[in-house]
Structure 1
Amino acid sequence: MHGMVLKAIRTPLVLMDMPELRPARGEVRLRVEACAVCRTDLHVVDGDLPTPKLPLIPGHEIVGIVDAVGDEVMGLSIGDRVGVPWLGHTCGHCRYCLSGHENLCDAPLFTGYTRDGGYATHVVADSAYVFRLDGFSDPVATAPLMCAGLIGWRSLVAAGDGETVGLYGFGAAAHIIMQVCRWQGRRVFAFTRPSDETAQNFARSLGADWAGGSDQMPPELLAAAIIFAPVGALIPAALRAVRKGGRVVCGGIHMSDIPSFPYRILWEERQIVSVANLTRRDATEFLEIAPRAGVKSKTIQYPLNAANEALADLREGYLEGAAVLIP
């Protein structure tokens, strides 16, 4: 097998030949069909997230075919197509795991961060944290659902059931979850980098009721806003855009510092909440909803050895949709 390896923070990934992986007890090995490139991968490579496993194969939006099964694996067989998300393992016995909040586990493992991920021809995963993808016939289009879709879904649930939703940062997650919003009958307001007419036109093409720069106010106050861009200054902007009792959801794992803002834009029971990781229940819910909602992810394909180029294009905001690596 071979994979793209991060040897040190803030250095390019290196294509390396590696020994054949063998699944341990409770694990499966996948032949990777596609692995989407997530902004969290950038945060790992750029050192925004502390203490990754090094050397490391990044990537946590994985679709592949099971080609080896370890002992005591139940419900998965060689030849099954499955997805592997960010949450790779939890302890199962801390207060969070026992109370249904495994996304907050005290001793988790994360795919492509504290265990090797999918920028490779093969990956080993804990079988309890992979998801069957019966009926998902296109691995490239499905790969972004494994994080952009799942975190987008968790963020939307956290936003509540208001009829108007603002999406700040119109990338992979926003373009997927907007399709769910439209299917639910909500109106969507898309906020992009100022003057980014390409992204605004992309949002309109998917049914946005309004699209404009993040420095603009929407034409009406919103029930909720979800911030996918890792920009702390968007929190005060979003607070100004939501109505009384509105909620601002921060959907990213990392964000720049939040500037001070006047209490009056938080007052009247507006809320700021964060979303951390995901639960297996989120995946079960979203993977059942996505086909019903007709979700179609827009992708830009890169060969595996062009992972550095894909990361650079994401960093510079050149992507419309999601980058996907093809081994």
Structure 2
Amino acid sequence: MSTAEAVPKMHKACVYDQPGTCSIAIRDVPTPKPGPNEVLIKLTHSGICHSDYAIMMNTWRQLPVPTQTGQIGGHEGLGHIVKLGEGSEKLGVKIGDRVGVKWVASACLACPPCTESLEGYCFNQKVSGYYTPGTFQEYVIGPANYVTPVPESLSGEVGAPMLCAGLTTWYVSKPTVPVLGAGLGRMIYRLPELTVTAVCELLIQNMINIICVILEYSALLKCGASPGQWVVISGAGGGLGTTAVSLAARGMGYRVIGIDMPGKKQDVLDSGAEHFIDVTQFDDATIGKEVKRLTGLGAKAVIVCANSNKAYGQAVSMLRFGGSLVCVGMPEGEQVSIANAYPSSMIMAGHNIVVSAVGNRREAIDVMEMAARGVVKFPVRTVSMSELQSVFEEMSQAKVTGRVVIDFSAA
């Protein structure tokens, strides 16, 4: 797509017509006009995230206000720019560009978190699908300086989940050097077998990565693990979990153990996990012992993708010395402290607690490029707009495996 196309005055959108209940209405809504420094995107795909379900159901107690009636949900949308607002052409975009809209639909890029590349914590952020029209619709507005470029070679059903599930899990598992294992990382682990000339050649090839090491505050992996170490992913069979398994195993070189319900075993293994633990076969006292039986010492990191307080309570027992509990999944209902996270025990074992919301603009581009190279493989199915409510009903029963994506071209 390289030329402007006719934009309809109205388009279809999925709205939360009765927030607090699982109810979706498909309505015709006015197609917005992009304002200054904005673009209008004709969406082709939108991922369906459990966060959307929680917002619709008003089960995230930490949100400041309940979801409004008529809210258009969704925050994993991609498509092509069809109209430019005034001044947007000066921000590096043009009609026909393929771009995506993330959970943080816009960030001010000027507040303290933004200036530290922590845009997920922007004081002035707008969240797609929560008091900002989301991506469960055919057309959406995005800020020209904050939409994510999406490679044309990447399929829409894989690209859309990268805007949230991919970016969130990449943020906690990636090295500060972008895609360390793709070049510089291999060099580090192969030093004994390389000649001086070969080392110099690889250093030159990876100079951008080396500069990133110097500029960023640490060369350690955000979750604390190194290639070859064990990482447990709890809730590994869901949309967030299977994406995390694939990125961790195939993109980062971690040895992955997936934990979930028995019906999700094959999808977790196919996504890249070495082992699968059936959560129904163990209790709080024995599941950590099973992880240590498989790993020897325990996991260097446990990434909790499940929206379960129980999963968080179990995670601490799976860690080895110096291990990290990584909080990703957000439990619904009343907030509960992490069970068994006793300060004295964590100090004695050198345990850490790490959190992740979403990554920044640069990380979004990195994860898109990784997906375009075919590194990320996870189960995905496409549905039409009319099937959104049934997908949410599946989510309510924990029956969704992998990621589900709306294809706007589907009938």
Please give the range of the TM-score, normalised by the shorter of the 2 chains: over 0.9
Aligned residue number for residue 303 of structure 2:
226
Secondary structure of 1:24's aligned partner: coil
2:272 maps to which of 191, 200, 207 = 207
The alpha-carbon deviation at position 289 of structure 1 amounts to: 2.5
Please tell me whether residue 314 in structure 1 is matched to residue 395 in structure 2: yes
Query: Aligned runs of 1:1-327 on 2, under 5 Å?
Result: 1-11=11-21, 12-49=23-60, 50=63, 51=65, 52-73=67-88, 74-157=91-174, 158-162=222-226, 163-170=229-236, 171-183=238-250, 184-193=252-261, 196=262, 198-214=263-279, 215=282, 216=287, 217-218=290-291, 219-220=294-295, 221-254=298-331, 257-258=336-337, 260-261=339-340, 263=342, 265-266=345-346, 267-292=348-373, 294-327=375-408
Which one has the largest radius of gyration? 2
Look up the equivalent residue of 1:160 and give its one-letter code: G
Native 8 Å contact 1:235 1:258 kept in 2: no
Native 8 Å contact 1:87 1:129 kept in 2: no
Q: Deviations over 1:205-241 (max 9, x none)?
A: 2331110134423122111010000111222311110
The alpha-carbon deviation at position 291 of structure 1 amounts to: 3.0
Q: Which stretch shifts more, 50-59 or 145-154?
A: 50-59
For 1:137 and 1:249, how far apart are their aligned partners in 2? 29
Secondary structure of 1:114's aligned partner: coil
Look up the equivalent residue of 2:173 and give its one-letter code: L
* Greater than 6 Å deviation, 4+ residue runs: none
For 2:267 and 2:69, how far apart are their aligned partners in 1? 37
Question: Identity of counterpart residues, as a percentage?
Answer: 23
For 1:262 and 1:298, how far apart are their aligned partners in 2? 33
Q: Deviations over 1:29-75 (max 9, x none)?
A: 11110101001101101102332454310000111111111111122
Residues paired across the two proteins, number: 324
The alpha-carbon deviation at position 323 of structure 1 amounts to: 0.9
For 2:74 and 2:315, how far apart are their aligned partners in 1? 30
Look up the equivalent residue of 1:17 and give its one-letter code: D
For 1:275 and 1:137, how far apart are their aligned partners in 2? 25
For 2:69 and 2:113, how far apart are their aligned partners in 1? 27
For 1:260 and 1:226, how far apart are their aligned partners in 2? 16
The TM-score, its normalising length taken from structure 2, stands at 0.74
Once superposed, what is the RMSD of the aligned Cα atoms? 1.9
For 1:24 and 1:128, how far apart are their aligned partners in 2? 13
Structure 2 gap segments, 5+ residues each: 1-10, 175-221
Secondary structure of 2:158's aligned partner: helix
Look up the equivalent residue of 2:329 and give its one-letter code: G
Q: Structure 1's 166 and 128: CA in aligned 2 closer, same or farther, altered over 3 A?
A: same
The TM-score, its normalising length taken from structure 1, stands at 0.92
Q: Structure 1's 288 and 259: CA in aligned 2 closer, same or farther, altered over 3 A?
A: closer
Look up the equivalent residue of 2:308 and give its one-letter code: V
Secondary structure of 1:28's aligned partner: strand
Secondary structure of 1:283's aligned partner: helix
Native 8 Å contact 1:37 1:323 kept in 2: yes
Q: Structure 1's 134 and 204: CA in aligned 2 closer, same or farther, altered over 3 A?
A: closer
